[in-house]
Each structure stands twice: as structure tokens, then as C-alpha cells.
């Protein structure tokens, strides 16, 4: 049986508390009490990455109008790649509560873009396989996500407008 004196037990407890206090710092955590938000960094990211998405959507619309299903597939694949990268990168930023809704709406729209791409790739494959009914069904699903993405983009712009107006009042 192990016996520890009261003085020794107190010393061990103090050392244990000290170790628990420094472990997060030793593992790379910062002991700062202030939270660093990345509002400007996220907004700059948005400004740079949004122009990568819009041309895909324009080219998808053109491919549908031209009934070029190979182009539809290729542009949808590009939309999928760029939307997934934008969504993943956006989630890395920690923004202030004032900007959080705008960021979330952006991420919702990118998730919808992934579904748009998925269904247009399915539509292109169905068309190339001669399955007209399958192509129409996939296109209708894509249209549903287009409407949702548009709503999320509008919501994001409204939240950004509120955010920037709030900043002007602070200055």
C-alpha cells in the first residue's frame, strides 16, 4: 500500500495543476484572452474566389443553350472543384459574430454549387447515354439548387451590406 504524506500530496497536486495549465501552451495553443477574428482576411478571400465561380455558371448556361453536353460536364466538373476548394478554405476563417451570417450564407451557396455541378454532370452523362428522361430529371434537380444558391447569395449580400454599414457607424 502506497502512503503519501499530506505535505507531499499538496506538492503533487500543485505540480499537476501547473502541468495542466502549461500543456495547451506547450502544444501550440496561445494563452491569449482576446479572440482574433479574420473578417478582413475572409472578405479578401471572398473577393478573390467568387470570380472563379461565376464563369463556370455562365459557361454551364451556354453549354445548355448550345446543347453541348461534353462542355456541360467539363464546366460542371470545374464548378465542383472550385466550389469545393472555396468551401473548404472559407471554413478555415474565424470571423466576428457580425460577419458570421454572411460567411455562413456564402458557404451554403458553395454547398449548393457542389450539388448543381453534381446534377449537371449526371445530366450530361444521362444525355450521352441516350436517357432523355434521366437528363431532364437531373436538370430539374440542378435548377432547384440554382434557386437555393441564388437565395443564399442574396442573403449573403444583405448581411454584408448590414456588416459594412455597421462598420461605418463605428468609425
pLDDT in tens, 56-81: 999 999 999 999 999 999 999 999 99
To which residue does cell 432547384 refer? Answer: 144
Note whether residue 104 is domain-resident: yes
pLDDT tens for 41-56 read: 999 999 998 888 999 9
Percent of the chain surpassing pLDDT 90: 73
DSSP alpha helix (H) spans, the chain: 6-26, 39-66, 69-90, 97-128, 132-170
> Which residues lie closer than 8 Å to 60 by C-beta, 6 or more apart?
72, 75, 76, 79, 116, 120
Cell numbers at 122, concatenated: 449526371
Which DSSP letter does residue 91 get? Answer: T
Note whether residue 87 is domain-resident: yes
Residue from 114, 106, 102 nearest 57 by CA:
114
Residue-level pLDDT at 164 = 86
Note whether residue 16 is domain-resident: no
> Can you give the residue range of the structural domain that contains 100?
36-170
Residue-level pLDDT at 20 = 46
Note whether residue 43 is domain-resident: yes
- Per the prediction, the chain carries an average pLDDT of 85
Note whether residue 166 is domain-resident: yes
Confidence of residue 86 (pLDDT cuts 50, 70, 90): very high
Count of domains forming the chain: 1
Confidence of residue 33 (pLDDT cuts 50, 70, 90): low
Q: How far is it, in rounded angstroms, from Cα 33 to Cα 22?
A: 15
**Angle, vertex CA 160, rays to CA 158 and CA 165, nearest 5:** 100
Note whether residue 93 is domain-resident: yes
Flag whether pLDDT at 14 surpasses 60.
Answer: no
Note whether residue 1 is domain-resident: no
Note whether residue 13 is domain-resident: no
Q: How far is it, in rounded angstroms, from Cα 87 to Cα 61?
A: 22
Q: How far is it, in rounded angstroms, from Cα 30 to Cα 3?
A: 38
Cell numbers at 158, concatenated: 444583405
Angle between helices 97-128 and 39-66 (to 10 degrees): 20
Amino acid at each position: 500500500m502506497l502512503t503519501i504524506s499530506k505535505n507531499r500530496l499538496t506538492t503533487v497536486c500543485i505540480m499537476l495543476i501547473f502541468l495542466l495549465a502549461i500543456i495547451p501552451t506547450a502544444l501550440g495553443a496561445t494563452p491569449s484572452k482576446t479572440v482574433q477574428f479574420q473578417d478582413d482576411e475572409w472578405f479578401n478571400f471572398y473577393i478573390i474566389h467568387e470570380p472563379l465561380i461565376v464563369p463556370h455558371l455562365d459557361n454551364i448556361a451556354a453549354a445548355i443553350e448550345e446543347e453541348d453536353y461534353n462542355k456541360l460536364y467539363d464546366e460542371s466538373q470545374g464548378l465542383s472543384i472550385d466550389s469545393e476548394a472555396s468551401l473548404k478554405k472559407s471554413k478555415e476563417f474565424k470571423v466576428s459574430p457580425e460577419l458570421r451570417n454572411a460567411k455562413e450564407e456564402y458557404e451554403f451557396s458553395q454547398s449548393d454549387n457542389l450539388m448543381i455541378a453534381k446534377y449537371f454532370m449526371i445530366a450530361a452523362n444521362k444525355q450521352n447515354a441516350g436517357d432523355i428522361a434521366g437528363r431532364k430529371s437531373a436538370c430539374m434537380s440542378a435548377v432547384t439548387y440554382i434557386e437555393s444558391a441564388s437565395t443564399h447569395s442574396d442573403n449573403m449580400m444583405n448581411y454584408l451590406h448590414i456588416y459594412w454599414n455597421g462598420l461605418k457607424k463605428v468609425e
